Amino acid sequence: MLKIDNLHAKVEDKDILKGLNLSVKPGEVHAIMGPNGSGKSTLGHVLAGRPGYHVTAGTATLLGQNLLDMETEERAHLGLFLAFQYPVEIPGVSNMEFLKAAVDTVRESRGQESISSVDFMKKARAICKEVDLDLSFLKRGVNEGFSGGEKKRNELMQMMMLEPKLCVMDETDSGLDIDALQVVANGVNAMRNSERSFVLVTHYQRLLDYIEPDFVHVLSEGRIIKTGDKSLALELEEKGYAWLEGAA
């Protein structure tokens, strides 16, 4: 699904990623943890092709295709979903319009016809229910006045509408109360299948009580310095990160 080899990236002349390796197979859920400033969000931005993030060495492929050569939209068409890729408010555009356009763009890139309004609304309503968003949400402006919990539910909704192959979620649990955390976890679990993979950046072990990862990685100073199973997250919760540093 995703293969990252020796990835080096810089932001404003500062080296942030320093030889990152990560391999994600179809159906797997990988959690990425690590101290603040270790490069977790940078990894997401590099995968998204965000301007200002420069790859200086290494490779990243999605489904065998070189991601680093592609425009952000092409990456999305190939099946990459980054939960933080639409963080801005878009005045005058409703969530419904935005979602329909996003779904149609992906369908078009796959040679499919645009979704009918009836089918779209059916699906959108069902998903609203599933992620616990009021239907009035569909008429609201994109990201307009969203609370932290609504932003996460919105991300889930986008994910469920777009049916991506690889979902990358940054700060999956930040600012969420227990109910919202449960909704996010249920949503991710409902979307898990043998062909879809997840990379979840998370700060707390707690999320991993609800979403059971196949692998837990520790990112430190731009490199993955330790990989384990879900028990590693428990160990980190107990001991912090300091005991691992120097292990790189």
Instruction: Give the binding site for ligand ADP (CB under 6 A).
Output: 11-12, 14, 16, 34, 36-42, 52
Please provide the size of the chain in residues: 248
Find where tokens 């859920």 sit.
29
12 touches which of ligand ADP, Mg ion, none (CB within 5 to 8 A by kind)?
A: ligand ADP
Closest CB 207 distance from Mg ion, rounded Å: 15
Give the distance between the most distant pair of CA atoms in the chain. Answer: 57
148 touches which of Mg ion, ligand ADP, none (CB within 5 to 8 A by kind)?
A: none
Nearer to Mg ion, 39 or 49 (CB): 39
Phi/psi for 145 (5° steps) reads 60, 35
Among the listed residues 12, 14, 36, 242, the single contact to Mg ion using CB under 5 A: 36
Nearer to ligand ADP, 11 or 121 (CB): 11
50 is an interface residue for Mg ion by CB under 5 A: no
Closest CB 43 distance from ligand ADP, rounded Å: 7
Closest CB 99 distance from ligand ADP, rounded Å: 27
Task: Please state, in angstroms and rounded to a whole number, the distance separating the CA atoms of residues 187 and 172.
Answer: 12
Sheet holding 223-228, edge to edge: 80-82, 166-169, 197-201, 29-33, 215-220, 223-228
Angle (nearest 5°) at CA 219 between 45 and 143: 35
Q: Which residue is nearest to Mg ion (CB)?
A: 41
Closest CB 37 distance from Mg ion, rounded Å: 6
39 touches which of ligand ADP, Mg ion, none (CB within 5 to 8 A by kind)?
A: ligand ADP
Among the listed residues 41, 61, 72, 143, the single contact to Mg ion using CB under 5 A: 41
Phi/psi for 130 (5° steps) reads -65, -40
Task: Please state, in angstroms and rounded to a whole number, the distance separating the CA atoms of residues 240 and 223.
Answer: 17
Closest CB 14 distance from Mg ion, rounded Å: 14
234 touches which of Mg ion, ligand ADP, none (CB within 5 to 8 A by kind)?
A: none
Selection from 205, 202, 211, 163 nearest residue 183 by Cα: 211
Task: Please state, in angstroms and rounded to a whole number, the distance separating the CA atoms of residues 46 and 236.
Answer: 26
35 is an interface residue for Mg ion by CB under 5 A: no
Q: Which residues in this chain contact Mg ion in the complex, by CB under 5 A?
A: 36, 40-41
